[in-house]
Amino acid sequence: MHEMSIAVAVVEQVARAAEEHGASAVKTVALDVGELAGVVPNALDFCFALACEGTALAGSVLRTRTVPARARCAACDVEWSPGIPPDLGCPQCAGGARVALLTGRELHIRGVEWAERPDSARG
């Protein structure tokens, strides 16, 4: 289950940022997940809760946003949603291997809500 390794990596990054900014706790973590990233949302939620135990993220909530897949044909410049599993054949010109996947593989932290203002944000 690669969701556990993803959850652990997210928790480590956010915990490191919390420490750097003087935050003792995290309320929410917002994560963008591409629909082609191969991530099972319920499994990621479960693994995230486990990975948070004993860290500044304990009790925090993971909010995931699915990023739809988009592809573009280099031959005719048409864009489309390739679906799941992805169909990377251009629906307009059937233009071979010159297709670029624009979105859908994302996996990045979009934002963090701290339980209190970090030291660096205090005036």
Complete domains list, the chain, with CATH: 2-68+104-117 (3.30.2320.50)
pLDDT at 37: 94
pTM above 0.85, yes or no: no
pLDDT at 96: 64
3-state secondary structure of 86: coil
Q: How confident is the model at residue 122 (pLDDT cuts 50, 70, 90)?
A: very low
Range with the poorest average pLDDT among 46-55, 60-69, 89-98: 89-98
Distance CA 76, CA 98 (A): 10
What H or E segment, with its residue span, contains residue 50? Answer: helix 41-52
